[in-house]
Chains A and B, each alone.
Chain A
Amino acid sequence: MIRYERNMSALSKEENEKLKDFRVVVVGCGGLGGYTVEMLARLGIGHITVVDGDSFSESNLNRQILSNNQNLGKNKAIQAKKRIEIVNDLIEVVPVTKFIDEYNGTDILKGHDIVIDGLDNIDTRFLLQEKCEELKIPFVHGAIGGWYGQVTTIFPGDRTLDFIYRNRRKEGIEKRLGNPSFIPAMVSSIQVSEAVKVLIKKGEILRKKLLVIDLLYQDFKIINF
């Protein structure tokens, strides 16, 4: 298919063909999640569930690719679906217009091959780690704040978040430093590459490793856990 021609031969024809059979859930459709959904759809991931109970507001416009002057006030998951309809109509996108919580988490996540983190708080990430462990689904964590970001791929039982948020603080440095446009794009790209590698079993992933990104000093570091 010409649509996917330039995915080759980074992905083989067979690997690209397989992507349509995978079901991926993106939890949070803001800074990270917006780019993630876009990239998954362009790659050819067949089913994407997009989860967000929030609506776009003016302060999202600096970085959230799915937000624009015309859709302020509209639900983020619905806008993700609308975007993908015009990018790649071969993809099935199912919006969930709720925030994930301990009561709906299992139902939202079950039946997916991988979960991708687009959340904006630490507490809910721990919930995601727990639910993914219960459901035996791999989970690609990403987080951003200021010039900084991080990515790791967590398999059931790894509990990598326990090492990278040792005090389980509710808030990170993003509350003070904000999130400029370049940081979600960067971290989301790495998350999507991780997800694809897990799905097609290719290359090496950041399992029990945290990639720490500092764009202010262009310092990229991998921490082993």
Chain B
Amino acid sequence: MEVEIRLFASFREGREKKYFFKIGNLNLTVRDILEKLDIDEEEVAILLINGRDGKVDSALKDGDIISLFPPVGGG
């Protein structure tokens, strides 16, 4: 049981672009993964689970790909 985390833009600073987490039979959510990566939930502007809009309290399943993007707001 494994999930893949893909980080984008400034989330890559001081981190890898990609992580693989063994989730075993634990009932983990995206929020647990954010904690492990030391990413503040409030800093996540776009959260995709398998390419679709997802929620931080979504339960993770084997093979899920989570993509995280920070807010870009300048002009």
Pairing of A with B: yes
Option from A177, A184, A210 in Cβ contact (under 8 Å) with B75: A184
Question: Is A172 within 8 A of B8, CB to CB?
Answer: no
Listed stretches B19-27, B31-39, B46-54, B58-66; interface member: B46-54
Are A163 and B70 interface neighbours, CB within 8 A? Answer: no
Minimum Cβ distance to chain B for residue A34 (Å) = 10
Taken together as a complex, chains A and B put the C-alpha atoms of A60 and B4 apart, in Å, by 40
Indicate if B9 sits at the interface (CB-CB under 8 A). Answer: yes
Tell me which residues across on chain B come within 8 A of A217, comparing CB atoms. Answer: 12, 17
What class of interface size applies to chain A in its complex with B? 35 or more
Given the known interface contacts A146-B9, A148-B9, A212-B8, the answer about A166 and B46 at a Cβ–Cβ threshold of 8 Å is: yes
Q: Inside 8 A of B51's CB, which chain A residues have their CB?
A: 223-224
10 pairs from A and B in contact (CB 8 Å cutoff):
A120-B73, A142-B75, A150-B72, A164-B46, A166-B44, A167-B44, A169-B42, A169-B43, A174-B73, A212-B9
Per CB-CB distance, the 6 closest pairs between chain A and chain B, nearest first, are A172-B73, A174-B74, A172-B71, A120-B75, A145-B72, A148-B9
Known: A144-B74, A173-B73. 13 other contacts (CB 8 A): A33-B75, A118-B75, A120-B75, A122-B73, A142-B75, A145-B73, A165-B45, A167-B44, A169-B43, A173-B72, A214-B8, A223-B46, A223-B67
